[in-house]
Amino acid sequence: MRLPAQTAGAPNTVAAPAAAPAPTAQSAAAPNGGIEDRISRFATIWGRAIFPVTATSLTRPEFERHLLPLTRTLTEALHARPFDAAVAQRVGAELVAVHCTDPEALAGTLGVIESYLVLYCGPDGLEGAGVEATAEYHSRCARLQHAIAAGYARALRERTLSEQEAIARSALTARTDAQQALHASEERFRAVFEGAAVGIGIADLDGNVLEVNDTLLQMFGGLEGHVRSRNVSEWGHPDDTPHVWRMYGELVRGERESYRVEKPYYRHDGTVLWTNLTVSLLRDADGKPQYQLALMEDTTERRLLNLRLRYEATHDALTGLPNRTLFFERLEKALSGAGGDRYGLCYLDLDGFKAVNDSLGHSAGDRLLVEVADRLQSCATGPGEVVARLGGDEFVALTTGSDTEEQVTELAVRILTALSTPIRLEGRELSVRGSIGIVEGRAKERTPAEVLRSADITMYRAKAAGGNRFEFADAEADARAITRHGLTNALPAALERGEFFIEYQPLVHMRDGTVHGAEALVRWSHPQYGVLGPDRFIPLAERTGLIVPLGRWVLEEAVRQARVWQHEHGGAALRINVNLSPTQLHHPGLVADTVAVLEKSGLAPGALCLEVTESALIGADDELLEPLRRLAELGVDIALDDFGTGYSNLANLRRLPVSVLKLDRSFTRGMQQQPADPVDLKIVEGIVALAHSLELAVTVEGVETGAQAAQLRALGCDTAQGWYYARPGAPDRIHTLSLSDAVPTPS
């Protein structure tokens, strides 16, 4: 079916009007122009009517071009013989195809066709045609509209159904894809869940355990019933830190996203499982808290190992007692306690333990220490009491509380009592004794190191007082000990730095008052304490062994000085007395050193007198006396110093290679008064007589008055020294004195 004279497929070609069906009349109202022109104009009207209600992305002209073939179809249908309205259904369907899915587009279309189709596209000159012909075209037009509506409705229904089906299918596909992906991811998750080396558990927010993996089950001992279907809140443990359950509460209330703690659990057999626990809150898509996820790592073995390492680091391997490290921690804790807290500390050192070690061997010594440790342990069982071994045979016991003064005394008594029962060792009974230094005080006043030092010092005091006792620390004694300690430490450097010097106290012939010689007295010019006398540091030097180099220096210096005097004095025999300490006496180099010093200086041995205390020679055997004998044989005088203070075994005097007795000042003190003590006079007289009968010269010390000097001279003493003649002084004073021959200068 073709439009009359239409040139198909060339919409822009203007059709020849001559080819149009012969109209009976040209209507005045009818549009002018050829049929193609009118078709185009109809399409424009149509387009304008429905474009606003379409959803197309085409521009209106583009859209109108789509309507052109549709208009042509309608025109053809209008004119076709026989008339077939059904072809217009395709026009309705085409409207849907160009996205005129809004029913308003149909309404608009029908309205335009109703008004303009016959007018624009009907036969020319219809007005002139008969009523019948006009009615025929309008009838055809109406039937075309019916068909367009039907075609539109069918196409829209088809399109709607197919699009609905397509989107439903797509939704289903998407859901299936998602489910498959979810399934795959769940499988992956399941594999992770089951294969994980960490325990994983999921519980709801009420704490009901919903799921656990095998690893977690095994951690808890492998019993399902112990873990599954249980409630998280049942898993409290006494060692839980308080904030564990606070954080748990925050998490299940949604106030916290996660927490991480170290937490212990009871396994079903009562043993403890230690874990590193991480709990996270799981929320749903809306962010509402839904589940809690627990990840736990079994740290039991690691913890045990740590505990063991910690134990080994803090306990003494021999006795099992806490060691110094742990004790310091405990002491630190006790000392950092609250204001009212007190502490008491016993510092125990066994008396004579070295002898046990030396005589029975170290393994016996060790067994003794183990036994002592056991006994100490049994003494300190109260709360806040702890015993530790600091090393060697040194132990400490600590007590804390509010009334530690009494407690610590009782503790010390218990310790001494516990030690008093003899210990059986290798078939013998050993009496073990100890010396205890006690420090008691208030927390926050001293550091652990200060407390231990004080206890140590006090323990030495108890030991010095004879041992097998306890002493309480006392600040003054501590201070003295601390000074002594400081001096001892400073001694070697002092010798190197030349802080020692020598003062000389003249020795005077009693019969004529001339200067016989001088005693060398060592002094320490301490940078902090000033000039210190020998009583302050010689015992320290003795203990540390520094006395040997110090003594050698004194000897060298004194001998050199004596030689200087000799030169200045014109060769007169000024003698020099030098003290020998007990340690020097035992030193194997004594003779060689002395000889070397004398030779180096050129001083005659006879000008040197070595003073040895009586106590140093008590019980001396031949071996000890040998060096003195050899020195005496060389011509060196040996003086017995402080004679009369020790246990003076007069019979023993004969064996000793001494040539001078120096009477202790205690004998001369009685002669300071007038009249002199007659008993003292008798004693001194007796001693002088005895000495002279043994061919020993007698020197008296501590002569302070002229009366004393006169008395002693009358009693036959040979030489004297003391303030009556001169105080110890610089070497040039001796020189002066000897030149003036000791004019006594009363003090």
Partner 1 sequence: MERPAWAPPGIDISVPSVSRIYDYYLGGSHNFEVDRQAARRAMEFMPGLPKIMQANRAFMRRAVRHAVAEGVTQFLDIGSGIPTFGNVHEIAQAASPGARVVYVDHDPVAVAHSHAVLLDDEHTGVVAADLRKPNEILAAPEVGRLLDFDKPVALLLVAVLHFLEDADHPYDAVAQLRDALAPGSLLILTHASYEGIPLTEEVAGGAVGVYRDIRNPLVMRTGEQIAHFFEGFDMVEPGLVSMPDWRPDRSEDVEDGETPEDPYAFSGYGGVGRKA
Query: What is the binding site for partner 1 (CB under 8 A)?
Result: 44, 52, 54-62, 99, 101-102, 159-160, 163-164, 166-167, 169-171, 173-175, 177-178, 181-182, 184-185, 188, 257, 280-283, 285
> What CA–CA distances, in Å, run from 389 to 75, 94, 321, 358, 376?
121, 106, 6, 21, 10
Instruction: Quote the least distance from Cβ 149 to partner 1, whole Å.
Output: 18
Instruction: Quote the least distance from Cβ 4 to partner 1, whole Å.
Output: 27
Nearer to partner 1, 58 or 564 (CB): 58
Nearer to partner 1, 170 or 666 (CB): 170
Question: φ, ψ for residue 660 (rounded to 5)?
Answer: -135, 140
Please name the amino acid found at residue 372: V
Instruction: Quote the least distance from Cβ 450 to partner 1, whole Å.
Output: 56
Q: Give, for 264, the enclosing helix (H) or strand (E).
A: strand 258-266
DSSP 3-state of 304: helix
Contact 78/117 with Cβ under 8 angstroms? yes
Instruction: Quote the least distance from Cβ 449 to partner 1, whole Å.
Output: 53
Contact 280/293 with Cβ under 8 angstroms? yes
d(CA 76, CA 443): 118
- Other C-beta atoms within 10 Å of 646: how many? 15
d(CA 489, CA 482): 10
Instruction: Quote the least distance from Cβ 325 to partner 1, whole Å.
Output: 46
> Both tokens of residue 115?
């008004």
Nearer to partner 1, 283 or 308 (CB): 283
Instruction: Quote the least distance from Cβ 81 to partner 1, whole Å.
Output: 34
Nearer to partner 1, 162 or 420 (CB): 162
Quick one: 352 exposed, middle or buried, by C-beta within 10 A (0-12, 13-18, 19+)? middle
d(CA 637, CA 554): 17
Q: What is the dihedral of CA 205, 207, 208, 212, to 10 degrees?
A: 100
Instruction: Quote the least distance from Cβ 122 to partner 1, whole Å.
Output: 23
R_g over Cα of the chain: 63
Instruction: Quote the least distance from Cβ 322 to partner 1, whole Å.
Output: 48
Nearer to partner 1, 63 or 353 (CB): 63
Nearer to partner 1, 280 or 409 (CB): 280
Instruction: Quote the least distance from Cβ 147 to partner 1, whole Å.
Output: 23
Nearer to partner 1, 92 or 731 (CB): 92
Nearer to partner 1, 98 or 520 (CB): 98
d(CA 539, CA 525): 17
Question: φ, ψ for residue 472 (rounded to 5)?
Answer: -90, 140
Contact 109/46 with Cβ under 8 angstroms? yes
d(CA 86, CA 147): 6
Nearer to partner 1, 96 or 518 (CB): 96
Instruction: Quote the least distance from Cβ 283 to partner 1, whole Å.
Output: 6
d(CA 106, CA 439): 111
